[in-house]
Amino acid sequence: MGIYLPIAEMSVNIFVLLAMGAAVGFLSGLFGVGGGFLITPLLIFYNIPPAIAVATGANQVVASSFSGALAHFKRGTLDIKLGTVLLAGGIVGSTLGIYVFSLLRQMGQLDLFVSLLYVILLGTVGGMMFVESVNAIRNARRGVNPSLKRPGQHNWIHRLPLKMRFRASKLFVSIIPVLVLGAAIGFLASIMGVGGGFIMVPAMIYLLKVPTNVVIGTSLFQIVVVSAYTTIVHATTNQTVDIILAMALMVGGVAGAQYGAKAGQKLRGEQLRALLASLVLAVALRLAYDLFVRPPNLYSLSALGAL
């Protein structure tokens, strides 16, 4: 059944969109990730213009992360104060990102830049995760107890000025790295249409030393607000948010996430991570393929507004 996307101005199959949303929702429930980094490339593979895929991806992330954030809020595993500082940085980063996004779009380099960012980030994160999880699986087979290396209690980040106390996280840390981290994630959110959880969570654990139990809730809280802000700004500056497309993805995603979460309980942690890493690497390779292989048509057209 065809459905017309008013902003993308094209007809697509509604079942493909629902399936796409459900599949990504399933994976996001399975691995506990937002899924934005899968939705946007999938939409691009489905010939949705990258500008619309990115902005609509941000909109979809709002729905999937709000569900999760709500659960953490009820359980109290959410540091509102830390989240607020993060999102203050996030708003700045996102605004900057939107500006760069519009600029790249005018220059005709947006598609390239989005693909490059995806290839680099997904390639790096996926590669590191893969190596780590394969080692963990090997160690488990050999019967070696995973050595819980506790990283040093303090690093250079904890020597920066402007310290602030975050009670829920039992943390006394400078707000500079928190703001910078928030801004970096906000920037990625607006250019890549991702929530950024896959970078935010490790950064909070290893750089800021936030206790693991509040990390996911706090990062989700920040992602909800920054993605909502990104959606609104994309809608006003670029008019690239396709609400019909977003709805189809959200409906599929919300349903898929529940089954994914159930399936996730049956798999072991390192196996899950190895699976996720392979998936992330596969997406990165697929995007890289388009970058490096000669395109079938070297020319492209883009309509211009009034000159």
Closest to 194 in 3D by CA, of 61, 49, 288, 87? 61
Among 100, 117, 137, 261, binds another protein (CB under 8 A): 261
How many CB atoms are closer than 10 A to CB 29? 25
Closest CB to another protein among residues 104, 180: 104
Query: What is the C-alpha separation between 223 and 210, in angstroms, rounded?
Result: 17
Q: Does 173 bind another protein (CB under 8 A)?
A: no
Measured on CA atoms in the order 210, 214, 219, 225, is the torsion positive or negative? negative
**What are the tokens at 253?**
């995603």
By beta-carbon proximity to another protein, the closer residue of 155 and 239 is: 239
Compose the 42-61 pattern: x for residues touching another protein by CB under 8 A, - for all others: -----------------xx-
Rounded Cα–Cα distance for residues 24 and 1 (Å): 21
The Cα 128–Cα 140 span in angstroms is 18
Q: Where are the alpha helices (DSSP H) in 150-196?
A: 175-192
What span, in angstroms and rounded, lies between the C-alpha atoms of 36 and 23? 12
What is the C-alpha separation between 256 and 275, in angstroms, rounded? Answer: 18
| 200, 219 Cβ separation under 8 angstroms | yes
Taking CB under 8 A as the rule, which mask of x and - marks residues 276-295 in contact with another protein? Answer: ---------------xxxxx
Q: Is 173 helix (H, G, I), strand (E, B) or coil?
A: strand
Q: Which is nearer to another protein, 85 or 241 (CB)?
A: 241
Q: Pick between residue 120 and residue 131 the one whose CB is nearest to another protein.
A: 120
- The residue within the footprint of another protein, chosen from 117, 137, 247, 279 (CB under 8 A), is 247
Q: Hey, which residues between 224 and 243 contact another protein (CB under 8 A)?
A: 224, 227-228, 231-236, 239, 241, 243
Query: Per CB under 8 A, does 153 bind another protein?
Result: no
The yes or no reply on residue 222 touching another protein (CB under 8 A) is no
Interface size with another protein, residues (CB under 8 A): 62
Q: How far is the CB of 173 from another protein (least distance, A)?
A: 30
Which element (helix H / strand E) includes 236? helix 212-237
**CB closer to another protein out of 14 and 157:** 14
CA atoms of 28 and 26, how far apart (whole Å): 5
**CB count, 10 Å around CB of 218?**
30
Q: Which is nearer to another protein, 22 or 171 (CB)?
A: 22
> Of 88-96, 130-138, 180-188, 255-263, which segment contacts another protein by CB under 8 A?
255-263
Residue 137 makes contact with another protein by CB under 8 A: no
Q: Residue 168 has what DSSP assignment? A: T
What part of residues 66-95 is at the interface with another protein (CB under 8 A)?
Answer: 66-67, 70-71, 74-75
Indicate whether 14 belongs to the interface with another protein (CB under 8 A). Answer: no
Using CB under 8 A, list all residues that contact another protein: 2, 4-7, 9-11, 59-60, 62-67, 70-71, 74-75, 108-109, 112, 116, 224, 227-228, 231-236, 239, 241, 243-244, 246-247, 250-251, 254-255, 257-258, 261, 291-295, 297-307
